[in-house]
């Protein structure tokens, strides 16, 4: 496969674009092929079986598009469907998830740390973060914050609604004594300011997009698969065209994007 083939990425909606933006900054010579599964958004309230089904279909689509790597830019899918993505991608195509790089980073930067995490129900209920942290001797306290991703997808960030929702989730001060906060949903960096406002300044909010893009750079370098120059423009697909996605993409990426609708019936 050519090194100039695109990196495939997916999420339920705009959240994975926070990772895409960091990848564009870290690896500007790479081309991206992003799929937002808006027809099935939110992923956070879906069963593991559904998430596996969606992840398999999308990975097949990314393979059909000739992607050289897959970034599972979604915690819910990374926590519930990573083996399935790897099985479809095959041994030649590296798969980068958004969970293990962050756990590795957190434990290596603060081995005795007490970590807090917010994520979707699907992510928290999978127990993957707990398992990875405890395997490395780390401790994490998790809270499912199911209202947040859908609100953010609808454009409610940096405003009174997102502020009120975040305040409600942190009202009892459960995270105030922790060393670091992990935003275990790729939508959440869009409400990072609101989250920081609820935490004492000693609680570090971990920068997931930067950590994941660094891991992607490392994996591609180890395989000798880095692109030498950007030879094609980035492609953005959704399974259901929504104005919210178009607006969210423009907000995150700082420019409007051509958005192609690929209905789920064509992906399965």
Q: Which is nearer to ligand DGL, 166 or 227 (CB)?
A: 166
Q: Which is nearer to ligand DGL, 118 or 175 (CB)?
A: 118
Asked about 185 being catalytic, the answer comes back as: yes
Smallest gap from Cβ 232 to ligand DGL, in A, equals: 26
Give 3-state DSSP helix, strand, coil % of the chain, rounded to 5.
45, 15, 35
Among the listed residues 33, 67, 74, 112, the single catalytic one is 74
Cβ–Cβ under 8 Å, residues 27 and 214: no
Q: Which is nearer to ligand DGL, 36 or 225 (CB)?
A: 36
Among the listed residues 33, 67, 112, 185, the single catalytic one is 185
Contacting positions for ligand DGL (CB under 6 A): 11-13, 15, 41-44, 74-76, 120, 123, 149, 185-187
Smallest gap from Cβ 168 to ligand DGL, in A, equals: 18
Instruction: Measure the CA–CA gap between 140 and 212, rounded to whole angstroms.
Output: 19
CA distances from 193 to 10, 137, 144, 233, 248 (A): 25, 30, 19, 31, 17
Which three-class secondary structure state does DSSP give residue 38? helix
Asked about 67 being catalytic, the answer comes back as: no
CB-CB neighbours of 52 under 10 Å: 18
Q: Which is nearer to ligand DGL, 16 or 225 (CB)?
A: 16
Tokens representing 8?
Answer: 């495939």
Which three-class secondary structure state does DSSP give residue 36? strand
Smallest gap from Cβ 116 to ligand DGL, in A, equals: 16
Smallest gap from Cβ 13 to ligand DGL, in A, equals: 6
Instruction: Measure the CA–CA gap between 132 and 138, rounded to whole angstroms.
Output: 8
**Catalytic amino acids?**
74, 185
């Amino acid at each position: 496969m050519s090194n100039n083939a695109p990196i495939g990425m997916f999420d339920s909606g705009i959240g994975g674009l926070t990772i895409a933006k960091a990848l564009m900054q870290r690896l500007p010579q790479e081309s991206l092929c992003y799929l937002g599964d808006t027809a099935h958004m939110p992923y956070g309230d879906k069963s593991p079986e559904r998430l596996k089904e969606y992840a398999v279909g999308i990975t097949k689509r990314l393979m059909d598009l000739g992607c050289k790597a897959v970034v599972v830019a979604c915690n819910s899918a990374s926590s519930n469907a990573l083996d399935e993505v790897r099985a479809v991608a095959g041994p030649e195509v590296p798969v980068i998830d958004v969970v293990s790089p962050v756990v590795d980073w957190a434990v290596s930067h603060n081995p005795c740390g007490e970590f807090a995490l917010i994520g979707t129900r699907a992510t928290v209920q999978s127990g993957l973060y707990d398992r990875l942290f405890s395997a490395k001797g780390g401790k994490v306290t998790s809270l499912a914050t199911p209202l947040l991703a859908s609100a953010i997808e609808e454009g409610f960030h940096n405003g009174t609604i997102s502020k009120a929702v975040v305040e409600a989730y942190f009202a009892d001060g459960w995270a105030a004594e922790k060393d670091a906060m992990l935003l275990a949903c790729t939508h959440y960096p869009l409400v990072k300011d609101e989250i920081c406002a609820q935490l004492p300044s000693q609680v570090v909010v971990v920068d997931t997009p930067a950590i994941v893009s660094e891991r992607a750079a490392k994996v591609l370098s180890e395989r000798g698969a880095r692109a030498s120059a950007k030879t094609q423009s980035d492609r953005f697909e959704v399974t259901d065209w929504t104005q919210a996605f178009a607006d969210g993409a423009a907000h995150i990426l700082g420019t409007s994007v051509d958005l192609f609708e690929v209905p789920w019936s064509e992906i399965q």
